[in-house]
Structures are given as C-alpha cells and as structure tokens.
Structure 1
C-alpha cells in the first residue's frame, strides 16, 4: 500500500523545495501540502508562538491526519513547540522539520552555532538543540545569532539580499563553532554557497533522510 506524507508549511516558497526533496528521497510516497502563511505572520507579529496559533497548528495537523496522511512533516521551526504538543494527540507520526538536524548537530560537535533570520525561530531551535543534547547525555555550548533583515528581504521578493546576509553571518559564525545549524528551512539554499571548515546543517535534506528511513 502506498504511503502518504502530509506536509504543513507556513510559506508557499517551501512547497517546491520539499517537492523536489520528496521526489529524490521518497519516490514511492504520495504527498500533499497544507499552506498557511498566517501562522508565521501572526507569530512574528506577536514575537512568540501564541496559544491561538498553537491551536491552529494542531488543527492543521489533525486535518492532515484526516486527509489520510501516514506521516506528517511540519516544515516551520518557529511553530515547533505546537508541533510537539500536537504529537500525542495525533494517530500518526508527526515530525518537526528541525529535529533530525538537531540530533545530527549534537553528534557532530560540542560547540554548536545556531543561525536564524527570525528571533521567533532562533529560540525554539536553540531550545530543541539543548533538549536533544540532554537526551543524548551530552553537554554542548550554543552560540545563537539572528541575521537581521534577511527574512524581510526574502518575503519582499529580494532573495539575493537574503542570501548575501545569511552567507556573511554564516561565514563569521562557522569560524567560532564545531557545527552550524540553520534554524529555518528557507536558509537551506545558502548552505552550499559558503566555504566553511565545519559542517553546515540545513533541516530539509536531513528531515527527508529521516523520513526515507521510516517510510
């Protein structure tokens, strides 16, 4: 029986990114998408994930299950706490996109850099890395930074400015740590453009590798 993967996005820009990754890593799996950019817009406006937005995330996850998903992937790190809260309420496995990346970072180094273009993503990702390190029985040191203005540039259609600012911060941060974690899926496009002496981890391909193992 063909497996079905439901993907929940907070930006339409990620639909094509994950479609390509699914075609590469999950060729025999059917996929469908739920896109609601108000989730990230409301989170950014409030400066945090609010209970109202968290309930709506849980609603989308429930809708994906009702639509026939055998597994659900939520591709936005900013709403990760809501994803984890919804997992016990859902009858199929649910993966937050940055969890496999956090686990890989903990394996690769003791000094972990976390780079984001939004503070609302930086804090949840840094918290996830700390918790996954604790679960693995490992002590890590985190260096967390926000790449100011990059997200706004991307949302306004100026991808070049986004990529330039992320690349600059990435080059600087990679000189201070053992491994760098890119907190947002939208930053993955820059990972291969920067020369670095340390691994640079992006969540989309690592999430797909994880799903290929379970699906």
Structure 2
C-alpha cells in the first residue's frame, strides 16, 4: 500500500512578494508539495507599531484557521513574527516553523562572527534572540547593519532598488574577521546573488521551506 499523500503546507506571509518566491522554490526543489499562501500584511504593520506580542492572538487565529483547513504544518516567513508563531505550535497540534531558524543554525554552527543585515527594526530583536538560541557559544560576536532606506524602496514597490540597497550594505561589511552575513528578512534573499563580497551570505527561504517540507512528510515525486 502506498503511503498517504502529505498534507499541504500553509505559509504565513506579511507581504505578497513572498508567494512567487516560495512557489518557485517548491517547483525547483519540492515538486508536488502542496502550498497554501496566507498573506496578512496588517500583522507586520501592527507588530512594527506595537511589538510582536501585540499580534500574538491574531497570529494564533490565522494559524488555527490554517490547521482547520487541513494544513499539516505552518511556515511563518516573517522574521518579526517568527517567535510568536512558533509559540503557538503546542496548542495547534501541528508543527509551526519559522523560516529563519535553519539559517540561524547554519550561521552559528562554525563559531565565526555573525553580522545581521535588516531593513526593518522590528526584525532585529527576534533575529538576535534566535541566533542566541542556536548558538553553542554565547560569546559568539553578533553585529547588526540596518538598511532602513531599503525598506522605503520595498514599500514603494521598487524591488530592484530594495535588493540593490541590501546588496550594497552587505558589500560594505568589513571582511577582515570573515563574518557570516545573515539576511534577516526572507524578502532579501535575491540580494545574495548581487553581492560582490567574498563573505558567506545566508538567506532563509530555501532552507526554511526544506525544513517545512520535511515537517509535513513530503517526499519528492
């Protein structure tokens, strides 16, 4: 008897730009994986204004709705809301993953300094907390680079300008200590292809989706 097909994976996004990114990753690396995209831009807007905890109940309702609709797991692609989403897993009875955890684990694995590049300030604290959770050495040096002007371009719909600004910020990081660069937001992923730096640059969508695919028991067709 063949195994039952994997239940679909729900993805919680706070921008519609993530939908084609994850669809493309699915088509390339996880063919046959069922995805259900849930886009709630208002959650990030409120979290930026009031803090992530202010939207915890609203996030919980979105996740519960996804599970009621048959999702076998939920992947939160917003770094600002990742910890809030993960905290709901116990009540929902299905895995709830944050897209940046596998990236954080990889960044902290070698004990090298880490530099976090972020365009939204509300993302910084959750990302730093996550890196500390994944670190075997609490003395690992972690710095941050803010690219607030990049987010202005993102909000204006200038994706190319946004990615160029992120790439320029990465290229401006000093290379002497050979830090690992972490792109804190999933929307930054394509900037990694535009950098000229010799440093290792990590982004979250690919490894995050792979972890979520495993969580729903997906087997490539």
TM-score when scaled to structure 1?
0.92
User: 1:209 aligns to what?
Assistant: 210
RMSD: 1.6
Task: Determine if contact 1:5/1:70 at 8 Å carries over to the other structure.
Answer: yes
Task: Determine if contact 2:118/2:183 at 8 Å carries over to the other structure.
Answer: yes
Shift of 1:22: 1.4
The correspondence of residues 49-60 of structure 1 with structure 2, limited to 5 A, is: 49-51=52-54, 53-60=55-62
Shift of 1:6: 0.8
Larger helix share, 1 or 2:
1
1:94-126 superposed Cα distances (whole Å, 9 cap, x missing partner): 110100000010113420110100110111111
Gap regions ≥5 residues in structure 1: none
The correspondence of residues 53-202 of structure 1 with structure 2, limited to 5 A, is: 53-133=55-135, 136-137=136-137, 139-173=139-173, 175=175, 176-202=177-203
Largest Rg, 1 or 2:
2
Q: Which has the higher contact order (CA 8 A, sep 6+)?
A: 2
Shift of 1:137: 5.0
Q: 2:46 aligns with which of 42, 45, 50?
A: 42
Shift of 1:161: 2.3
User: 1:26 aligns to what?
Assistant: 30
Evaluate the alpha carbon distance shift between residue 86 and residue 103 of structure 1 in structure 2; reply closer, same or farther with a 3 A threshold.
same
Shift of 1:28: 2.4
Task: Determine if contact 2:132/2:138 at 8 Å carries over to the other structure.
Answer: no
Distance 2:155 2:191 in 1: 16
Task: Determine if contact 2:78/2:99 at 8 Å carries over to the other structure.
Answer: yes
1:11 partnered with 2:15: yes
1:11-57 superposed Cα distances (whole Å, 9 cap, x missing partner): 111111111111222212211111110001112233x2143x11111
Distance 1:155 1:60 in 2: 23
User: 2:5 aligns to what?
Assistant: 2
Aligned length: 211
TM-score when scaled to structure 2?
0.89
Distance 1:196 1:187 in 2: 16
Evaluate the alpha carbon distance shift between residue 165 and residue 11 of structure 1 in structure 2; reply closer, same or farther with a 3 A threshold.
same
